[in-house]
Amino acid sequence: MKLIGSYTSPFVRKVSIIMLEKGITFEFINENPWTDESHVPSYNPLGKIPALVTGPDEIWYDSHIIAAYIEQMDIAPALVPREKLAAMKVLQLEALADGIGDACVLLVREGMRPPERQMEEQLVRQREKIQRGLDALEKEAAKGTVLNSDTLNIADIATACLISYLNFRRILPGWCVDRPALVKLAEKLFQRDSFARTVPPTA
């Protein structure tokens, strides 16, 4: 298997961690999707990462789809419950964490534009999405039934990757204020070997 992506992407990191947790061997190909020379569009027509090459004519893209593909390989540990309703609850929280991640990426990209060309309305809108999303994740993490429980699942991984990206890109520096359950989740997961091995480079 070949995983196409960037070391700094929270979505690519999510897939990397899933495969490390399951002991799946893969080759990582570092590709920046934002450059004119990028090869990412040859793997995903949308030009987005991650993409997973599983055969000569088989490529999966979108982290949610890749995660679902890996899960159906039935390799322990299971990261999505077998029971359908329980699975939907986990997958919805995964989608929430990924959606917050999308808003974060938009903030980062907008912040790279010259100040006079930045759209303040866009920046405000994305920050509001992030705040609302984090509040919803905190509420779920505080319950400790689906998110932040004793059993690792894909929603935990997606949320921890999101939190790491918030810290890495210095998005909403005070995000942890009044969100102790998310802090606890992050501290717990960051100690895992799969997270330690996928820490984004600082340079």
Each of the 203 residues of the chain gets a pLDDT tens digit; together they read 999 999 999 999 999 999 999 999 999 999 999 999 999 999 999 999 999 999 999 999 999 999 999 999 999 999 999 999 999 999 999 999 999 999 999 999 887 888 888 888 888 999 999 999 999 999 999 999 999 999 999 999 999 999 999 999 999 999 999 999 999 999 999 999 999 999 998 75
Token code pair at residue 194: 């799969």
Give rounded-to-5 percent helix, strand, coil for the chain.
Answer: 55, 10, 35
For residues 195 and 185, the answer to whether their CB atoms sit within 8 Å is no
* CB proximity list for 176: less than 8 A, separation 6 or greater: 182, 183
Domains of the chain: 2-71 (3.40.30.10), 84-192 (1.20.1050.10)
pTM: 0.95
